[in-house]
Chains A and B, each alone.
Chain A
Amino acid sequence: MPAPLCVQPVPSSPVILSSEILTLSQGSIVQADSYGIQNKTDRAMLIDRFIFSVRANSPDYLGGAISVKLRLGAQDLTNGFVPLCVLTSPYSARTGTSEIYYFASGGLGFTTVLPLAHPLYVAPGNGFSAQLARTTDGSALLCGVNLGFAGCATVERPRKNFVPYISAFSHPRDTVNATSASTSTNTDMQNKFGVSMYVDKFIASGDDTSNFLGINIIESYLTDSALYDFVDIYYRGATRLTNKPHPLNALFWPGQCAVDARMVIAPNDWFITQFTSVAQYHKPVIAMVGYREEALP
């Protein structure tokens, strides 16, 4: 006799927390309404990707860059404002390259996705808060940004959480000299927490003045094929992780504009990014993406 059919309870269901569309003008800082990006259910949420969707009327007449500051409850997820261009997985199934690159090629908007190596637990009642900032350069045209946090809602609560932390160092754009150099400080890419941090990867991006939103110059290199900018990475200032300064795109591209780090660093430890030579107008960025483990009560 066949076994009776029974209905299995659904262990989890997909979920996305989404903000309203935030309108950004030049030089503005906008706070997202945290109501929409809060876990208002009685179930645990496990967020596995951050989504940023940007819409503009035309990429040709905009300029400047957008940065984001993220928190989950009282926990910092970013080290202040971090350029949006590094919070992305450059590969897109839709365009075959990054959405930002697609946008710079004439698209009127793009969506970037930062996949998390470890899902982020959001307790019932807890939620994200986000601020977006746009620089003052470029045109006065407005653009809209929508934030999403996607994952699943589940009845099972994890015993520990992996809280992401993203910090970045941007080279200050030099509009005068043919090349320039810069070095990050000890606090730009630092584990500022009292526990060890697993640094998963470094992500590189950048922009030049002809593009909007920190268009990824690493990908732009694909079209002109030149090697312009060189980078060195140090651990705790003295331990050089490279054999010499690397061309930014030879190291980070191809790939996902990211290289694995897979290193556990102690509290207060830091990395130093040294841009040894950067072409005029370029503004490369290196970001560190890490996770700290947190026991849940």
Chain B
Amino acid sequence: MKPVYISGEVTLSPNDVKSPDNSGLSLRNPFLAPMWIDRINFSFDDDYAGIVYTDLKLGTVPLTDGFVPTDLLCEPQEFSNQVGLRRVAWVLSRPLFLLPGEFLYPRFFHSAQGGTDPLAAHITYIGRSLEGGDPMPSPGKTFMPYVSSWVAPSHVGGAAYTDKSSESNLRNPFPDPLEVVCMRGRISKGSTLTTGSAVFQNTLVRAVNQDNSIVAKDNSEFFTLFGDGFWRTRFALPANGFVVVSLTENWSTLNPANTYWPRFSMIGYRTR
């Protein structure tokens, strides 16, 4: 086994949807051998302060539910607080196995929320290429990640609001169970990320699953669930299952000049 590092980049103008490589061929393992992907790095090298969205597929199989805010594409790790809007490291808790010739096909969307300058988007796969004597994983014994998200409506401070995700936001669209390893929640103020401010304490979260069973009880503080951005979970979402998040945003004490924007993701794995 030997390490392999694969990268691609593309320049995005506002509202662009682009891939680093439309054919995806340059994002294949250059050794044309099976490989494990352990980590995916994203970086956006501009002063753009908004969100770049990423859509990731393995062949025709989606790893994301369409375009997902890229900063929600990572799992808890010891350097989580390095993860901002422009630099994201997704260390896969279950490495992704690719057969020879397979590749992950990314597309980026420049949402123009944090500025209208063009920006360069980079993606890097950090993995291991298998060699002749390396053991191959057994069929059905490898895992694929799947990330779905809900971007809640943005509101200004100075008033109270309620919002609710739909059954098609945070979901498992597959006929197999999805083991949800973490949920992520973040709130931006304008185009910058907020951490632990009053908005965290004045945003209350309720979440239920497809059976109306409670995932997060009424009026859980956003701060309690997502104080460091992550809520480590370990539950199986059945085929076509979903989680509905309800928000009570008691923002009447917040500055009306500011706009707040919560968003959530659910990261899970299913057998391949």
Contact = CB atoms under 8 A, between A and B. Distances in A.
Contacts of A91: 78-79, 82
B122 A227 contact: yes
B1 A240 contact: no
A222 B26 CA distance: 27
A262 interface: yes
Interface string A221-233: 1100111000001
A254 to B, nearest CB: 4
Nearest to A240: B30
A147 B26 CA distance: 45
Interface stretch (A22-30, A126-134, A242-250): A242-250
B272 to A, nearest CB: 22
Contacts of B13: none
A241 interface: yes
A231 to B, nearest CB: 9
B151 interface: no
A226 B89 CA distance: 18
Interface stretch (B43-51, B170-178, B232-240): B43-51
Contacts of B194: none
Contacts of B87: 222, 249, 253-254
A140 interface: no
A250 B43 contact: yes
Main secondary structure of the interface of B (DSSP, over half): strand
A251 B5 contact: yes
Given A91-B79, A225-B45, A260 B7 contact: no
B45 A260 contact: no
B2 A242 contact: no
A135 B5 CA distance: 33
Interface residues of B, number: 35
Interface string A31-57: 000000000000000000000000000
B189 interface: no
B5 A246 contact: yes
Main secondary structure on A side of the interface with B: mixed
Most chain B CB within 10 A, of A202, A226, A233, A241, is at A241
A215 B43 CA distance: 21
Contacts of A97: 82
A235 interface: yes
Nearest to B91: A255
B82 A233 contact: no
A258 to B, nearest CB: 10
A251 B1 contact: no
Given A225-B46, A241-B2, A260 B126 contact: yes
Interface string B18-33: 0000000011101000
B7 A251 contact: yes
A96 interface: yes
Contacts of A108: none
Interface string B142-163: 0000000000000000000000
A47 to B, nearest CB: 20
A91 B120 CA distance: 26
Contacts of A254: 41, 43, 79, 82-83, 87-89
A262 B30 contact: no
Nearest to A253: B87
Given A225-B46, A260-B38, A260-B39, A255 B5 contact: no
Sorted nearest first, the 6 A-B pairs with minimum C-beta distance are A250-B122, A254-B87, A254-B89, A91-B79, A261-B3, A254-B82
Given A243-B28, A251-B7, A253-B43, 17 more contacts: A91-B82, A202-B3, A225-B46, A240-B30, A243-B30, A244-B7, A244-B26, A247-B45, A251-B126, A253-B41, A253-B82, A254-B41, A254-B82, A254-B89, A256-B79, A259-B126, A263-B2
